[in-house]
């Protein structure tokens, strides 16, 4: 092989490397752009959802088996009180206002349940803004973010929490099989655009995930 042939081979090899690097860089840039667009879309969706829903957040006194069971008892009694006492046909703002006016009754409901269990933990109830991680209710997934919620704290409120959506009602009718009321899903569908509703349903590919991002993201390995 003479010198001309050697130079030609080197140039050909160099061009091939440059082409591969260009493809990798272009793919990375495209991925970053898509990831950023996805984050922007999720942020807009979360902001709109936060205006249309009222969530429910209840914190146990501790993570002991007894306190966790007591938390679920309080949850059941509070939901029963809401079902029997809260007027039908209210929108999210009316629901929020009703909750604010009746926090004392919600606290009383929780305290009675706790006393029946032989405990004397204090109970506080308030409508406030809480951060929620991404959460799925049946086949509806809410993106992470700040939402208004009825927050009930039992005792020291240091235990694992339980949550659902009070408006529209997406609290499980069958917790074992993660079934949420169809009426609540219909109400949610009515306050969202068709595109937004498709994004929060489990059938929709809500997230753009790349293999190499999943592989090195510690959250995906839990």
Map out the domains of the chain as residue ranges: 3-47+206-221, 53-189
- Give 57-98 pLDDT, tens digit per residue: 999 999 999 999 999 999 999 999 999 999 988 999 999 999
Could you write out the three-class secondary structure of the chain?
CCHHHHHHHHHHHHHHHHHHHHHHHHHHHHHHHHHHHHHHHHHHHHHHHHHHCEEEEEECCCCCHHHHHHHHHHHHHHHHHHHHHCCCCCCHHHHHHHHHHCHHHHHHHHHHHHHHCCCCCCEEEEEEEEEECCEEECCEEECCEEEEEEEEEECCCCCCEEEEEEECCCCCCECCCCECCHHHHHHHHHHCCHHHHHHHECCCCCCCCCHHHHHHCHHHHC
Which pLDDT value is given to residue 210? 32
Distance CA 52, CA 190 (A): 10
Which pLDDT value is given to residue 46? 84
Which pLDDT value is given to residue 33? 63
Which residue stretches of the chain have pLDDT < 70? 1-13, 31-42, 172-179, 202-222
Q: Give CA 153 to chain center in angstroms.
A: 20
Would the pTM of this model clear 0.75, i.e. be above it? no
Which pLDDT value is given to residue 189? 87
Which pLDDT value is given to residue 207? 40
Distance CA 136, CA 144 (A): 10
């Amino acid at each position: 092989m003479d010198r001309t042939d050697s130079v030609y081979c080197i140039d050909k090899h160099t061009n091939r490397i440059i082409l591969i690097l260009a493809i990798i860089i272009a793919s990375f840039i495209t991925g970053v752009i898509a990831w950023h667009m996805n984050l922007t879309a999720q942020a807009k969706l979360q902001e709109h959802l936060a205006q249309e829903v009222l969530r429910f957040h209840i914190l146990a006194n501790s993570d002991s088996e007894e306190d966790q069971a007591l938390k679920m008892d309080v949850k059941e009694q509070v939901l029963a009180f809401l079902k029997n006492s809260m007027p039908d046909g209210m929108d999210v703002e009316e629901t929020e206002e009703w909750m604010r006016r009746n926090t004392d009754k919600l606290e009383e409901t929780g305290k009675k349940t706790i006393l029946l269990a032989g405990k004397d933990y204090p109970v506080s109830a308030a409508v406030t803004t809480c951060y929620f991680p991404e959460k799925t209710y049946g086949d509806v997934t809410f993106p992470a973010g700040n939402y208004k919620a009825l927050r009930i704290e039992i005792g020291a409120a240091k235990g694992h929490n339980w949550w659902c959506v009070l408006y529209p009602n997406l609290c499980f009718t069958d917790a074992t099989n993660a079934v949420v009321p169809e009426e609540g899903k219909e109400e949610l569908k009515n306050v969202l655009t068709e595109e937004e509703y498709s994004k929060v349903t489990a059938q929709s590919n809500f997230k753009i995930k790349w293999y190499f991002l999943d592989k090195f993201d510690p959250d995906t390995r839990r």
